[in-house]
Chains A and B, each alone.
Chain A
Amino acid sequence: MTTILGNPWLHGLVFGAVLVTVLMTLVAFITWFERKLAGRIQSRLGPTMVGPFGLLQPLADAVKAMQKEFIVPRNADRFLFWLAPPLTIAFALATAAVVPFSKDVLAANLDVGVLYALAFSGLLAFPTWVAGWASNNKYALLGGMRMVAQGISYEIPMVMAALVPVTLAGSLSMQGIVEYQEASGWIIATPVGAAACLLFLTTALAEGNRIPFDIPEAESELVAGPTTEYNAIGWSIFAASEYAHSVITAAIASALFLGGWDGWWNLPPLVWMVAKTGFVFLIITWVRWSLLRFRSDQLMALCWKYLVPGALLLVLIAGIQVSVRG
């Protein structure tokens, strides 16, 4: 990997700035995409009024959110209430540092990239809990509690699902895993890899608070979960970080299982990476607008009774495969 000006710090700074800008813009238009897709699923049109095909709707929303007054409830913990939104977006975006866009384009080629991504993704439960606690609202508190329970539980099968490509590729670096797939076929093409990919996406839905696992935010039960008391830009940041997290998880899933930037027809690697990420995000969105929500105890039962043992089995099989291969 080449770095800008040969200095890793400068490279990180420049690349990080570019990445955050691109990602936040992408997140804005991803919301447009999701609303259009949801509209199609529900036999309606979605946004049409602002700009061509409603494309400027995210901008209008952002401007509206920024113009509004950010109200902090009187009995809320002001410091923590302010702290939670920036923390969420920071943790969500931090994961993007290890997403490999091509052989050379990536913010930080960490040797422990997978570990780093999963750690930050797991950390996301923390600011949500902070928001739920600081709001001094019972619905927010319940939502925060659910988030912590769910985040901690689902981290385990998620890490194990990610262990399968790590074991097969023999590398904890994202780049290493993609290079392995470039050389010996995509991981999703093997049975164990396909199962692990399914498991990873399932747990990613739970980590990212998406239906059918959006228990912490359950609008019909907890009003808006941890973000009940948030409005204006504070709420928008939460929403944006949720989308950013979904997109980045989709990117990580495509890097771990779908061969990352590897593709055919000599297309630029970036195109493949973006296309695969978009495809995974499409599936996540599709699931969201088709399924109902689990109950929290059913969610836990699903995790501990089925996903964790299943994940253990997958890791075992992957290990056996590797040792047989020698």
Chain B
Amino acid sequence: MAVAVEAGSPAPVVPTKAFVPDPYLDLDTYEADADLMTLSLGPQHPSTHGVFRVVLYLDGEIIVKAVPHCGYLHRGVEKLCEKLSYSNITPILDKNDYVAPMLNEQAANMAFEKLMGIEVPLRAKYLRTLLAELQRIASHLLWLGTFAMDLGGALGGGTSVFMYCFREREIILDLFEDLTGCRFHYNTHHVGGNRHDIPPGWPKLVNEALDTIESRLDAYLAMLEHPIFVDRTKGVGTIDAQLALELGLSGPLLRACGIDHDLRRDAPYHVYDLLDVQVAVDGGGDCLARYKVRLAEIRESIRLSRILVDNVPAGPLSATKPLNMVTQFKATTGQVYVGIESPRGELGTWLIAAKDKPTSPYRFKIRPPSLHAAAAVPYVFPGHTLSDAIAILGSLDPIMGEVDR
């Protein structure tokens, strides 16, 4: 199977689909003699990727209506952030999108910097870009593994791919551990710059890791891409470009619907304006297209990381003094929104500062890409079988920590 995606090509023709299922379908008006079965998929189901719950109305094995339920992982993060000082917020946000914590930290800290008018030094910008790209590889690898497991079962070929993906992801987490001391909840970004400088010999390790991942990627994709995989993903869970825009999908989901949109290129931040980001677009809109786009993004991130790691300039790592007081950062007025391209799409942070509360945000709001992905469920599930529903949910890749917050 050819999976080459023409990176950076102009937007393909937008597919149109006549039938868009009605998520508000009144079951009483459905065929009167149909014997519908209500199936509560989740929150304790092996492949709902956490604690997502969908109530499915099944006619035989065909889904007639799907009602998603969120909130099983609600922790009140946004409210909590309004109580914490600017410097204390970062470690809380690591737990939001727990597959790509680096990006959560960056999104919030960029918003704080914009609010306070702090310019980040170039070295920190380079490092942040590099960390974002490495995290994107790790995140997409985890997605690939879990997607294969959704298709192939916990005791079969899917697990083999899952294991390989985790092996590769582990290499990247090791790199992060070398840099920050943590494998996952890094707390390495703070207002004005980065906390941990690049240790000696680290760039060499990064290059080696990228070589390893790139060489192994082809080997096990050969294992995944066989006719059964194509049968299970092609034409399954097609999202219309119009519907994708209305739902507010972003990132790989939007690009898989044929819409050429990537914040890294269209609204550059960090040092993305210095890089030539090749955006992968696929017009299919189905699970296979989402797979292709994410795979192309892994390769693109490897390419960008190689450029970045060899070009990190010397200089200060932070524009602000090392943290000595929690009240060090203050903002009394203003309102900002910062959106960055997380592996799942546009991760936005919107915050308001107020005079009576200068050390913490007055209002803190996160725009999680996964919430919009989960919102696609009632539109995409109907008409598919239960097996397809699992594949579609896997390809949408909602992270519940981010959906519920």
- The segment from B16-24, B194-202, B384-392 that touches chain A is B384-392
The residues in B between 120 and 158 inclusive whose CB is less than 8 angstroms from any CB of A are 148-158
- The segment from A253-261, A272-280, A290-298 that touches chain B is A290-298
Contact with B along A286-305 (1 / 0, CB 8 A): 00111111111110000000
Q: B61: which A residues are within 8 A, CB to CB? A: 142, 296
Is A220's beta carbon under 8 Å from chain B? yes
Give the residue name and chain of the A residue nearest to B62 (CB). Answer: A297
Is B160's beta carbon under 8 Å from chain A? yes
- The segment from B97-105, B225-233, B296-304 that touches chain A is B225-233
Q: Are B158 and A290 in contact, CB atoms less than 8 angstroms apart?
A: no
> How far does the alpha carbon of A38 sit from the alpha carbon of B156 in the complex, in Å?
9
Number of A-B contacts (CB under 8 A): 101
Is B8's beta carbon under 8 Å from chain A? no
Q: Are A296 and B387 in contact, CB atoms less than 8 angstroms apart?
A: yes
Is B37's beta carbon under 8 Å from chain A? yes
> How far does the alpha carbon of A100 sit from the alpha carbon of B212 in the complex, in Å?
50
Which of under 10, 10 to 19, 20 to 34, or 35 or more describes the interface residues of B? 35 or more
- The segment from A5-13, A157-165, A210-218, A229-237 that touches chain B is A210-218
A292 touching B232 in the complex, CB below 8 Å, given contacts A44-B163, A220-B47, A220-B154: yes
> How far does the alpha carbon of A292 sit from the alpha carbon of B150 in the complex, in Å?
9
Q: Are B386 and A290 in contact, CB atoms less than 8 angstroms apart?
A: no
Q: A223: which B residues are within 8 A, CB to CB? A: 45-46
Minimal beta-carbon separation of B233 from chain A (angstroms)? 10
Q: Are B223 and A290 in contact, CB atoms less than 8 angstroms apart?
A: yes
Q: A211: which B residues are within 8 A, CB to CB? A: 152-153, 155-157
Q: B75: which A residues are within 8 A, CB to CB? A: none
Q: A214: which B residues are within 8 A, CB to CB? A: 153, 156
Q: A222: which B residues are within 8 A, CB to CB? A: 386
Is A43's beta carbon under 8 Å from chain B? yes
> How far does the alpha carbon of A290 sit from the alpha carbon of B229 in the complex, in Å?
12
Is B164's beta carbon under 8 Å from chain A? yes
**Which of A42, A142, A298 has most B Cβ within 10 Å?**
A42
Contact with B along A28-68 (1 / 0, CB 8 A): 00000000001001111000000000000000000000000
- Among B156, B160, B163, B167, the residue within 8 A (CB) of A293 is B156
Is B109's beta carbon under 8 Å from chain A? no
Q: Are A291 and B157 in contact, CB atoms less than 8 angstroms apart?
A: yes
Q: A215: which B residues are within 8 A, CB to CB? A: 387
> How far does the alpha carbon of A291 sit from the alpha carbon of B160 in the complex, in Å?
9
A292 touching B46 in the complex, CB below 8 Å, given contacts A42-B160, A43-B163, A220-B390: no
Q: Are B37 and A289 in contact, CB atoms less than 8 angstroms apart?
A: no
A138 touching B37 in the complex, CB below 8 Å, given contacts A43-B163, A221-B387, A292-B148: yes
A292 touching B159 in the complex, CB below 8 Å, given contacts A211-B153, A214-B153, A220-B46: no
Q: Are A43 and B167 in contact, CB atoms less than 8 angstroms apart?
A: yes
- Residues of chain B touching chain A, judged by Cβ–Cβ distance below 8 Å, are 37, 39, 45-47, 61, 148-160, 163-164, 167, 223-224, 226, 228-229, 231-232, 385-390
Q: List 13 A-B contacts (CB under 8 A).
A: A38-B159, A42-B159, A138-B37, A218-B387, A223-B46, A290-B160, A290-B223, A292-B148, A292-B156, A292-B158, A292-B232, A293-B387, A295-B231
